[in-house]
Structure 1
Amino acid sequence: MHDYRISTATTDDFGEARAVMLDAVYRDFGTGYVPRWHADIIDPERFYLVPPRHTLLVAVDERDGSVAATAALDARGPEHPPNPRWVAERFPSGETAQLRRVYVRPEHRRRGLARRLVAELAAFARADGGYRSLYLHTYASSPGAEALWRSLGKLVLDERTEPDGDQETLHFEVPMFK
């Protein structure tokens, strides 16, 4: 059995956290590193540790000290474009805690890590006091993502059903209070 420690990432965690995130964008999404989408992966300190309303969490496997999963939160709402205008308006920057980089290494999946990380991020957002909603988008092809987010939140847009949608992106709102 694995025990995991959830904590705020430190500079000592960045190398392994980057590896988890980059593996996900290459393996699960097939996009590889795209600077305009993934700059936060390369510079997590600037995006998640310096801004006071942002955070990056890691789940560390207590057996070997390796980073098994990541999850981040920031105050940047979804942008239009590429997201539909009404989604950007519903989840404005500053009032929206956007969940990002919720990635679990395949060998650590199905152990509740994503749920634990999201619960910690929701607590962080509540403690901030300035967020009114939690938002995220994911991709239908990402292994296990759709089922996880449907169990944790409310689907607000499935772009697979939109005539002009990208046929891949799913937008969710996750309750801050349970």
Structure 2
Amino acid sequence: MREYCIKPADPEDLDAARAVMLDTVYRDFGTGYVPRWHGDIIDPAAAYLAPPRHTLLVAVDRRDGSVVGTGAVDSRGPAHPPNPRHVAERYPSGRTAQLRRVYVRPEHRRQGIARQLVDALLDFVAADGGYRAVYLHTDPSVPGAEAFWRSVGKAVHDERQDPGGPGNGVVHFEVPLVGGERRA
């Protein structure tokens, strides 16, 4: 069984982290790089390393030192549009920690890496002390993504059920915090 290390990304990790993220948007999402959605992928240092309330974590395979997973937090709530207005209003920027880019290379999935990344991200959020909610959205067409997030948080809006069409077809989640610490 392989062992993995979850750690804050160093500048030396950024090229490998970017590769994990780009591979995911091309392979799993089928969208490829879309600048309005993926700008943080091109410049993860500006998006996650520079702002004090943001972070980028990487999962490193201890066997060979390769970056096999990523996970990030930023302080921007979901924007409207493209997200539903009530979701954007419920999760305002500055008070909302948004989980982003929780991606694991396919050959390393089902090893508990995503859960370890999320646990470490939630520890970061709790230590910050200023966040009042943890939000994320996921594309339910990615195999395993919806089930994973349902095991971590609570769905607060499913665009597939919207009247008049599925919107972007994503599912919006909140991960619970209790008194500044997450629920066990």
Q: Normalising by the residue count of structure 2, what TM-score does the alignment of the two structures yield?
A: 0.95
Q: Give the gaps of 5 or more residues in structure 1.
A: none
User: In structure 1, how many angstroms separate the alpha carbons of the residues matched to 2:167 and 2:102?
Assistant: 21
Distance 1:10 1:43 in 2: 13
Range moving further from structure 2, 166-175 or 123-132: 166-175
Residues 117-132 of structure 1 mapped to structure 2, 5 A cutoff: 117-132=117-132
Letter in 1 for 2:14: F
C-alpha RMSD of the superposition: 0.8
**Counterpart Cα distance in 1 of 2:13 and 2:98:** 22
CA distance in structure 2 between the partners assigned to 1:84 and 1:139 by the alignment: 15
1:104 & 1:138 partners in 2: Cα distance? Answer: 14
Distance 1:135 1:116 in 2: 17
1:133/1:174 contact within 8 Å kept: yes
Amino acid at match of 1:138: T
1:162 deviates by 0.6
The 2-side partners of 1:76 and 1:55 are apart by 12
Q: Which runs of 5+ in 2 are unaligned?
A: none
- 1:36 CA drift (Å): 1.1
Indicate the residue corresponding to 1:168 in structure 2.
169
Mapped partners of 1:56, 1:48: distance in 2:
6
CA contact (8 A) 1:161 1:167 kept: no
The CA deviation at 1:142 is 1.0
Runs of 4+ residues over 4 Å off in structure 1:
none
Sequence identity, in percent?
68
Structure 1 partner of 2:134: 134
Number of equivalenced pairs:
178
- Paired with 1:103 and 1:59, the residues of 2 have a C-alpha distance of 10
Offset of residue 143 of structure 1: 1.6
- Structure 2: how far apart are the matches of 1:123 and 1:167? 30
